[in-house]
């Protein structure tokens, strides 16, 4: 059978015409990222703007160059902008700009294009960029500063982990984002707004953030009860660090997460359990990035074992 | 085949690391500095020349059925000698290469050359083959370790080439080895395709 383009394409019904396309979806994701972007700019000012601009520009440039060099059609460049933006969102606002550029280029070239480009990558490129930066420049990547005045200080999670005696921020400060942390992970409110928009537009499935956050909440409630920490403890873990940013914008990446409904729930529960494990027992104060990357790794396996039975087939007794 | 081509095939066309993908284990593990790469390459080449020579000389008296154990015994003897010599004369290099010197015994390139070349050819071609393969492997190790040392530690053979704050530590950690070797292999495949 020929599939030449100049022949009339005849297909069987139903003929669905949908406005959903990759550029449209990308535009919606960008809109959803705006609240977090504004919150990040408000709290961390010019240094954050420099890091964000550098990440987005270098990710876009790297994407264009990769597509040229590999002689691929120029499609989906918007996804590179999203990758750059997400990477900027999860790194410290005072990171030297050249490091941000390096991380961004690493995300696009190594994590995305060397694995086959848009739709082929195994790992979330933005998180690979973050993991690369954290392993390469551990000091710069863990130097945090207070919002607005930029005084060096620890993040809420590291205050809790290292028990330095500093006062923990209140829940309302955590919710609004007036705490130290990566550029756009601090404001729970802004991220929830963006996440709600994506859910409303149907671009992400509630199952992943739902099971992810639910797992963290339940396990942290148990941990808080064991420690006798009280009612605020699970909420603190829900709003602190990059959990919400990861759950809504990174664990829901279309490319690197399962496609089946049950698979998505397994994925979310896995991410949530790993986050709790790393935060309570691991060496790092925060583990959202690694938890998502580890679950990215088993995504093909999850998809394989949760594949729906083909209609009319009898379940095999293999 | 002429002796010249026996020599040159190991460097580009049948480069053990970058074309045959043999010896990946030491190539990933010890290439954190150019000095290690050169040291490993030299130790490896020495053992390969000696073992190729010995196996080629004995190829008619080694019984077919037990040839692999015989190769291993021969190679292990030379590795032990190299190990002791390096321990005595280059203690610093010996310490930084560590377990990977004794592990030359099970290096697949050496066993591979013994099986594929030395037991079928006279001594002179076997030596030439070993020299070519040894140089090819050493060059590949130096190439990988140059990238890793410059990007990961900011130095080349211990000389500072990048500013203090610049190096990305990841490159001298295990992932850096995989990334560098992967990119080089991809590049070699690309070049090979273009040449063909």
Residues of chain A with pLDDT under 50: 1-3
Does the distance separating the beta carbons of A102 and B171 come in below 8 Å? no
3-state secondary structure chain A: CCCCCCCCCCCCCCCCCCCCCHHHHHHHHHHHHHHHHHHHHHHHHHHHHHHHHHHHHHHHHHHHHHHHHCCCCCCCHHHHHHHHHHHHHCCCCCCCHHHHHHHHHHHHHHHHHHHCCCCCCCCCHHHHHHHHHHHHCCCHHHCCECCCCCCECCCHHHHHHHCCCCCCCCHHHHHHCCCCCCCCCCCHHHHHHHHHHHHHHCCCCCHHHHHHHHHHHHHHHHHHHHHCCCCHHHHHHHHCCCHHHHHHHHCCCCCCCCCCHHHHHHHHHHHHHHHHHHHHHCCCCCCHHHHHHHHHHHHHHHHHHCCCCCCCCCCCCC
Q: Residue B55: which of B129, B97, B117 has the closest Cα?
A: B117
With beta carbons under 8 A apart, name residues in chain A contacting B179.
Answer: 110
Task: Look at A135 and B173 and tell me if their CB atoms are within 8 Å.
Answer: yes
Amino acid A2: pLDDT: 47
Q: Does A170 touch chain B (CB under 8 A)?
A: no
Residue A298 and residue A270 in contact, taking contact as beta carbons nearer than 8 Å:
yes
Residue B17 predicted with pLDDT over 70: yes
Cβ neighbours of B170 in A, within 8 Å: 132, 135-136
The residue assigned the tokens 């050496």 is: B110
- List pLDDT tens digits, range B113-164: 998 899 899 999 999 999 999 999 999 999 999 999 999 888 888 888 888 7
Instruction: Show which of residues 172-191 on chain B sit within 8 Å of chain A, judged by CB atoms.
Output: 173, 175, 179, 182-183, 186
Say which residue the tokens 């002429």 belong to: B2
Looking at domain A23-304, its CATH architecture is Orthogonal Bundle (1.10)
Angle at A132 between CA A128 and CA A133, to 5 degrees: 120
Residue A154: the pLDDT is 80
pLDDT given for residue A290 in this prediction: 93
Angle at A222 between CA A218 and CA A228, to 5 degrees: 140
What was the pLDDT predicted at A7? 61
Q: Does A139 touch chain B (CB under 8 A)?
A: no
Q: A98 CA to chain B: closest CA distance, Å?
A: 9
Taking the CA atoms of A144, A146, A150 and A154 in sequence, report the sign of the dihedral they define: negative
Tell me how far apart the alpha carbons of residues A228 and A181 are, in angstroms, rounded to a whole number: 27
Q: What is the complex's ipTM, to 2 decimals?
A: 0.81
Q: What is the torsional sign of CA B184, B49, B8, B37?
A: positive
H or E stretch at B85 = helix B67-89
Task: Determine phi and psi for B155, rounding to 5 degrees.
Answer: -125, 160
The answer to whether the CB atoms of A137 and B168 lie below 8 A apart is: yes
Q: What is the pLDDT of residue A17?
A: 66
Q: Rounded mean pLDDT of chain B?
A: 89
User: Could you tell me the pTM of the whole model?
Assistant: 0.85
Contact between residue A242 and residue A289 where contact means Cβ atoms under 8 Å apart: yes
Taking CB atoms and an 8 Å cut-off, how many pairs form between chains A and B?
20
Name the percent of chain B lying above pLDDT 90.
48
CB atoms within 10 A of CB B98: 12
Are residues B171 and A110, on separate chains, in Cβ contact within 8 Å? no
What are the chain A neighbours of B168 within 8 Å (beta carbons)?
102, 132, 136-137
Contact check, Cβ <8 Å, B182/A132: no
First to last CA, chain A: 35
The mean pLDDT of B18-25, rounded to a whole number, is 87
Q: How far apart are the first and last CA of chain B?
A: 21
């Amino acid at each position: 059978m020929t599939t030449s383009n100049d022949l009339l394409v005849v297909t069987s019904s139903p003929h669905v015409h949908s406005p959903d396309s990759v550029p449209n979806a990308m535009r919606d994701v960008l809109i959803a990222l705006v609240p977090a972007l504004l919150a990040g700019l408000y709290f961390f000012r010019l240094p954050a703007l420099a890091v964000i601009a550098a990440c987005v520009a270098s990710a876009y440039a790297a994407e264009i160059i990769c597509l040229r060099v590999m002689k691929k059609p120029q499609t989906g460049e918007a996804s590179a902008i999203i990758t750059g933006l997400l990477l900027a969102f999860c790194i410290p606002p005072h990171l030297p700009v050249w490091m941000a550029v390096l991380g961004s280029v690493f995300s696009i070239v190594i994590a995305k294009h060397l694995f086959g480009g848009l739709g082929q990558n195994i790992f979330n490129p933005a998180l690979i960029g973050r993991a690369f930066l954290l392993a390469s420049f551990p000091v710069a990547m863990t130097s945090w500063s207070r919002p607005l005045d930029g005084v060096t200080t620890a993040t809420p999670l590291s205050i809790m982990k290292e028990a330095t005696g500093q006062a923990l921020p209140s829940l309302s400060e955590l919710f609004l984002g007036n705490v130290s942390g990566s550029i756009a992970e601090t404001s729970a409110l802004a991220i929830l707004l963006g996440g709600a928009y994506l859910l409303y537009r149907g671009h992400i499935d509630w199952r992943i953030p739902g099971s992810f956050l639910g797992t963290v909440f339940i396990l942290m409630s148990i941990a808080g009860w064991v420690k006798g920490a009280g009612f605020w403890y699970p909420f603190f873990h829900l709003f602190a660090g990059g959990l919400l940013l990861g759950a809504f914008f990174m664990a829901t990446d279309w490319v690197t997460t399962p496609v089946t409904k049950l698979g998505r729930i397994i994925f979310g529960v896995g991410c949530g359990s790993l986050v709790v494990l790393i935060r309570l027992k691991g060496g790092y104060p925060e583990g959202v990035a690694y938890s998502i990357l580890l679950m990215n790794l088993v995504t093909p396996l999850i998809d394989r074992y949760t594949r729906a039975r083909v209609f009319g087939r009898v379940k095999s007794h293999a | 085949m002429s002796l010249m081509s026996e020599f040159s095939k190991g460097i580009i066309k049948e480069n053990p690391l970058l074309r045959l993908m043999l010896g990946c284990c030491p190539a990933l593990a010890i290439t954190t500095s150019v000095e290690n790469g050169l040291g490993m390459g030299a130790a490896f080449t020495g053992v390969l020349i000696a073992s190729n020579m010995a196996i080629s000389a004995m190829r008619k008296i080694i019984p077919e059925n037990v040839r692999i154990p015989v190769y291993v015994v021969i190679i292990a003897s030379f590795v032990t000698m190299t190990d002791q010599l390096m321990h005595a004369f280059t203690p610093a290099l010996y310490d930084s290469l560590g377990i990977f010197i004794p592990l030359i015994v099970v290096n697949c390139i050496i066993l591979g050359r013994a099986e594929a070349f030395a037991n079928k050819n006279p001594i002179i071609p076997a030596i030439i083959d070993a020299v070519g393969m040894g140089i090819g492997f050493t060059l590949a190790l130096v190439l990988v370790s140059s990238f890793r040392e410059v990007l990961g530690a900011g130095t080349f053979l211990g000389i500072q080439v990048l500013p203090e704050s610049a190096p990305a530590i990841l490159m001298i950690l295990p992932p850096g080895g995989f990334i560098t070797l992967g990119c080089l292999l991809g590049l070699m495949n690309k070049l090979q395709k273009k040449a063909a």
